[in-house]
Amino acid sequence: MPEIDIPEELSKIFSKSTRVVVLTGAGVSAESGMPTFRGEDGWWRNYRAEELATPQAFARDPKLVWEWYDMRRKIIHDCKPNPAHETITKMEKYFDNFQLITQNVDGLHRRAGNESVIELHGNLWRVRCVEEGKIFDFEEVPLKEIPPVCSCGALIRPDVVWFGEMLPRDQLDAAFEAAQTCEVIFVVGTSGIVQPAASIPIMAKQSGALLIEVNLEPTPISTFADHSFLGKAGEVMPKLWKFIKVRI
Ligand code: OAD
C-alpha cells in the first residue's frame, strides 16, 4: 500500500478532550475475514436480502433465516479483531469524550475492547423471543437446533434490525446526540447508503464537526468529507492514529 498522505493540519485539531465519534460499517471487519454486504463477495451480491433479512422472511421460513445467521456466526466466531478495531479501542482509551457508533452486528468492536459502543443494527450474539420479547445473549456456535427456541417454547430471532424495521430508539437518539455534539467524526468502512446511519456523518458535519473518512473507495459521504483516506481500514487507521498520537 502506498504511504498515505496525512495533512499536517490534522495534527493541530486533537487534544485529549476533543469530542470524537467513530462511525463504522462492514468494511472495518473485512480484514478480519467477514464479508461486507455490497463488496465484490458481499452478502447482497450472492443472497437476496428480502429472503433473509426481513420480518416477512423469518415468518415464512425461520429455518432458512437461521441457517444464514448460523453460517455468519460461525465465520465471526473464527474471526479476530484487526488493527482497525484495535486502533479504535486505543482511541476510546485515549479520548475523554469518545463514542463509537457501529452498523455492524458482529460484536468485534466489543471483543477488541471498546465499551462505549452504540449498535445501531443490533447484535447477532443476542436473540429475542418472538412471544415474550425477552432479549438475551445466545452464543451457541454452531447451533444445535435450527431454528432455535426459547425456554417458553416459542421461536427466538436474532436481535438485529431487519429491512423494514425501526432502529432501536435509544441507540439512534444517542447516536444523533453524539453526532451533533462531536468535534471530529471518523467514518470507517461504510458505503454510506443505508439510512438513517448514513445521515449521521452529515449531521455531525452540519453541526460543525470535522469529517474524516476511511474507505477503499469514494462513497456518497466523500463529498462532505474534510479528509478522505483511500485504503484498507486495518492499514490506514493505525497510521492515522500514530500520526495524531505523536503530535497531541
Ligand atoms: P457495505 O457492504 O454496504 O459497505 C462496506 C464499505 O466498506 C464499502 O464502502 C467498501 O468500499 C468498504 N470497505 C470494504 N473493505 C474495506 C476495508 N478493508 N477497509 C476500508 N473500507 C472497506 O456495508 P455497510 O455500509 O456496513 O444492514 O452496510 C450498511 C448496512 O447495510 C449494514 O449494517 C446492513 C446492510 O444491509 C443491516 O443489516 C440492517
Q: What is residue 2's predicted lDDT score, i.e. its pLDDT?
A: 53
CATH architecture of 9-34+81-121+167-245: 3-Layer(aba) Sandwich (3.40)
CA distances in angstroms from 143 to 19, 57, 59, 149, listed in the order given: 41, 19, 19, 11
Q: Any residues with CB less than 8 A from the CB of 111 and at least 6 apart, and which?
A: 81, 85
- C-alpha 36/C-alpha 27 separation (Å) is 6
CATH number of the 39-78+128-160 domain = 3.30.1600.10
What distance separates the 2 farthest-apart alpha carbons in the chain? 60
Q: Where are the beta strands (DSSP E) in the chain?
A: 19-24, 97-102, 117-119, 122-129, 135-137, 156-160, 184-188, 210-215, 227-230
pLDDT at 24 over 80: yes
Q: Whose CA is nearest to atom 22 of ligand 1?
A: 27
CB neighbour list of residue 22: distance below 8 Å, 6 or more residues apart? 88, 91, 98, 99, 100, 101, 185, 186, 187, 188
Active site residue 77: no
**Averaged over 131-158, what is the pLDDT?**
97
Question: pLDDT tens-digit profile of 86-108?
Answer: 999 999 999 999 999 999 999 99
Distance of CA 73 from the midpoint of ligand 1 (Å): 17
Identify the active-site residue in 77, 85, 121, 227.
Answer: 121
What is the CA(247)–ligand 1 centre distance, in A?
31
DSSP strand pairing (117-119 vs 97-102): parallel
The closest residue, in CA terms, to atom 29 on ligand 1 is 194
For ligand 1, atom 36, the nearest C-alpha belongs to 37
Amino acid at 85: H
> 28 C-alpha vs ligand 1 centroid, how far in Å?
8
Mean of the per-residue pLDDT values for the chain? 95
Q: Which residues line ligand 1 (CB under 6 A)?
A: 25-27, 30-31, 36-39, 42, 53, 103, 121, 161, 189-191, 194, 214-217, 219, 232-233
- The residue among 149, 152, 139, 130 whose CA lies nearest residue 59 is 130
Protein residue with its CA nearest to atom 6 in ligand 1: 190
Number of Cβ within a 10 Å radius of residue 237: 27
- What band does 11 get if pLDDT is binned at 50, 70 and 90? confident
Per-residue model confidence as pLDDT tens digits over 33-79? 999 999 888 888 888 888 899 999 999 999 999 999 999 999 999 99
Domain boundaries, the chain: 9-34+81-121+167-245, 39-78+128-160
**Cβ proximity of 215 and 27 under 8 Å:** yes
Average pLDDT estimate for 12-24: 95
Give the predicted TM-score (pTM) of the model: 0.96
Burial state string for 71-96 with b = 16 or more CB within 10 A and e = fewer than 16: ebbeebeebebbbbbbbbbbbbebbe
Separation of CA 61 and ligand 1 centre (Å): 26
E strands present in 76-145: 97-102, 117-119, 122-129, 135-137
Residue 50 has what pLDDT? 82
